[in-house]
Chain A
């Protein structure tokens, strides 16, 4: 990973008015959003079968 990303300098930042976010943090936030949407949309194994309590 260190060969792909330069870890010997500070992270690049995204600036928008008073909001400043490092690119690694933006990547984590985007990943959380993707996982959140996927968790809602993807079917859960066995969710179509009967069983459990209603």
Chain B
């Protein structure tokens, strides 16, 4: 018996896989485990809030161009919002990283979560640094002329030319933000799929309870 046309459709297959991996009640839950009631668990969502402020302020700056903030007080305001958003983004991300490191948040098959978080940090660093060389001022000139030597010394100067403003600006406002946002979305979806990592004591109790259930079932 052959499959019906709708069953062979890639959109139907993708939908079935997506719903199986992330059913709506798991994607948008109405409650969280009791152990999440701790300040250490809020730094992930604070990082997301800072990222949202970063993207919104960055979009406004991109609409007006890279020199707008030099001669316009509103532009200066949004540039300051953008700067302090990135300060908050890295501040909260580092505290989030420390918290997850000491929780060993890669437990329970969550290694992909840890990996996407680490890669997001590594991609966010050049995303921020390309902003420094896109400022259109003497600071940007100084940083780019110094940093080009670092790029050349490791052999990537011909691919990543810090003296090329157009290239750096494209990396800063398009390529790297897309990469960071895609990684963050993947990271959050994985959190929803796996759930928040439980504390060590609770994980031991859950394992013992599961072992007890399986031995009862077999006897």
Q: Which residues of A contact B (CB under 8 A)?
A: 28, 31-32, 35-36, 38-40, 42, 44, 46-47, 51-54
Contacts and interface: CB of A to CB of B under 8 A. Distances in A.
A43 to B, nearest CB: 9
Q: How large is the interface on B (under 10, 10 to 19, 20 to 34, 35 or more residues)?
A: 10 to 19
Contacts of B40: 36, 39-40
A21 to B, nearest CB: 15
Interface in B71-115: 91, 94-95, 98-99
Contact of B37 (A35, A39, A44): A44
A1 to B, nearest CB: 12
A42 B98 CA distance: 17
Contacts of B95: 32, 35-36, 39
A39 B95 CA distance: 9
Contacts of B38: 39-40, 44, 47
B170 to A, nearest CB: 29
Contact of B31 (A31, A38, A40, A52): A52
- Which are the 3 A-B pairs with shortest beta-carbon distances? A47-B37, A39-B39, A52-B34
Given A32-B95, A44-B39, A52-B37, 8 more contacts: A35-B91, A36-B95, A39-B42, A39-B95, A47-B38, A52-B34, A53-B32, A53-B34
B171 interface: no
Interface string B160-175: 0000000000000000
Contact of A46 (B37, B39, B43, B98): B37
27 contacts: A28-B91, A32-B91, A32-B95, A32-B98, A35-B91, A35-B95, A36-B40, A36-B95, A36-B98, A38-B39, A39-B38, A39-B40, A39-B42, A39-B43, A39-B95, A40-B39, A42-B39, A47-B37, A52-B33, A52-B34, A52-B36, A52-B37, A53-B31, A53-B33, A53-B34, A54-B33, A54-B34
